[in-house]
Amino acid sequence: MCVFKNGTFYHYEFILDGRRHRGSTGTANRDDAGREESRERERLEKSYSQVIEEESRKQRRKTLQQAADEFLVEYKAKHESPTFAVYALGHVTDHLGKKLVVEITPTVVKRYQTDRLAEKAGPKTINDEVLLLLRLCGDQGDLIRAKLRREKAMKLALPPSPGRAYTADEKARMLAEASKLRSKNMYPALVVDLNCGLRDKELRELRWRQIDLVHKKQLTVGKSKTDAGTGRVIPLNDTVMIALEAHAAWYIRRFGECKPEWYVFPAGKGQPNDPTKPVTTLRTAWTKVRDKAKVVGRWHDNRHTLVTELSESGAGDEVIMSIAGHVSRAMLSRYSHVRMEAKRRALDEIAARQRAADEKRIEEAAQQQAAALSGSVAVQ
C-alpha cells in the first residue's frame, strides 16, 4: 500500500504494467485511503469488459432520480442551455423517479407514454422525454429501444405540423401594424424574420458585427440550435436592407453608434434602452401586431412562411436548407407548407402541357391524313 497525505486528503501512487497511477482517495482517513487504493488497483487490473460490465451494473442499481441528477450535471457542463433536458427529465422523474434503472422495461416505457398522453402532453414532447429516459438506462436502454422499434412503439405518431404560412396580404397587414408601434424593435425584427427565417433566439441575440450592410450585404447567424444553423450566411434582399438601414439610423440617434458587440434589438421595456443586452421577448408587441392585423398564427410561422415561399419559388432543397439551417429533408418537409394555389398551379401546368401535346399530335395526324389524301388524288 502506498498512500500519502497531500492537503486535506490522502492520495495513492503505484505502478501497474509499467505505468504510474496517482490520484486522490477522497478521504482524510488513512485506513479508508488504503482500501480505496486497493479498490483502484483492483479495478485497473480487471479487463476492459469487466470494467464496463461493473459500471453498467452500478448504473442499473441507481434510481431514475439519481441517474437523472448525474446526467444533468454532465449535460449542463456541455450545453449552453439545459432548459430542455431539465424540463423533460422533470416529467420522467415525477413518474418514475423512485424506480431503479433495472426496473425500466419496454412495458414501463409504454405505460409512461400512455400516462403522459392522459396528461395532455404532446406526442413530440413525450418522444423527447422517452429518448432521455432511455439514455439514463445506459446499455439497458439500447435493448429497450431495439424492442420498442420492433414493436413500432418507440415513437408516438406526430400530428400534422401546427405551423402555417402567411399570405401576402397577411404579411402586408402585419408589417403595416408593426410600423405603427412605439417599440422600435418590432418592425425591423419582423422584416428580418420574414425574409431571413431566423429562429427566435438567433434573431434576438443578433449583434451588429454579424451584419454587413455596406459590402457583402449579408447576415451571419451566430450560435444556433443545430450545427447546420450555426454560422450560416444569409444574403440580405432589398426589403431587409431598407429596414435595417433605417433601424441603424434610429439606433445611432438613440445610442450614438452601432458598436459591433451591441445587440441589434436591444433590451428595454417599451422603448429599447440597453444595447449591451438583447431583447428578452417580442411577445407583447407581436400580440398587438397580430391582433390589430387580424391574423392568426405564431411568431415561428414567419419562418414557416419563408421556407414555403422559397419552395414555391422553385428554390432547391439545398438552397432552402442553407438559408433556414435545417439538417435534413425530413425536417424541411415539416416547414414547407406549399399552399393549395401553388399545388393547383403545378397540376394545372401538367394538364396544360398534356393538352398541348394532344393538340399537337392531333394536328400532326390531320396533316398526315391530308397529305395521304392529296397523294391518292394525284395518283388518280
Please spell the DSSP secondary structure of 85-118, one letter per residue.
Answer: HHHHHHHHHHHHTTSBGGG--HHHHHHHHHHHHH
As a whole number, mean pLDDT of residues 323-327 equals 81
pLDDT at 54: 76
CB distance 134 to 141 below 8 Å = yes
Q: Which one-letter amino acid corresponds to residue 185?
A: N
CATH of 168-335 among 1.10.10.10, 1.10.443.10, 1.20.140.10, 3.40.50.720: 1.10.443.10
pLDDT above 80 for 11: yes
Class (C level, CATH) for 64-150: mainly alpha
CB distance 187 to 175 below 8 Å = yes
As a whole number, mean pLDDT of residues 40-53 equals 71
- Residue 380 pLDDT level (bands cut at 50, 70, 90): low
- Residue 48 pLDDT level (bands cut at 50, 70, 90): low
DSSP letter assigned to residue 294: T
Name residues whose C-beta falls within 8 Å of residue 306's C-beta, 6 or more positions apart in sequence: 193, 194, 195, 196, 197, 323, 324
pLDDT above 60 for 377: no
- Residue 339 pLDDT level (bands cut at 50, 70, 90): low
Percent of the chain with pLDDT over 70: 93
Give the C-alpha separation, 183 to 177, whole Å: 11
Q: Mean pLDDT in the chain?
A: 88
- Residue 376 pLDDT level (bands cut at 50, 70, 90): low
As a whole number, mean pLDDT of residues 8-16 equals 87
Higher pLDDT, 25 or 380: 25
**pLDDT tens digits, one per residue of 259-286:** 999 999 999 887 899 999 999 999 999 9
Rg of the chain (C-alpha set): 32
pLDDT above 80 for 318: yes
- Give the alpha-carbon dihedral of 121, 124, 128, 129, to 10 degrees: 20
Q: Which of 163, 81, 162, 96 is nearest to 129 (CA)?
A: 96
What contacts 24+ positions apart, CB below 8 Å, involve 342-351?
342/312
Residue 282, SS3 per DSSP: coil
Residue 19, H or E segment: strand 19-24
pLDDT at 209: 96
CB distance 338 to 315 below 8 Å = no
CB distance 224 to 232 below 8 Å = yes
Count of CB atoms within 10 A of residue 334's CB? 16
- Residue 169 pLDDT level (bands cut at 50, 70, 90): very high
Residue 142, SS3 per DSSP: helix
Q: Could you tell me the residue ranges of all domains in the chain?
A: 3-45, 64-150, 168-335
pLDDT at 51: 64
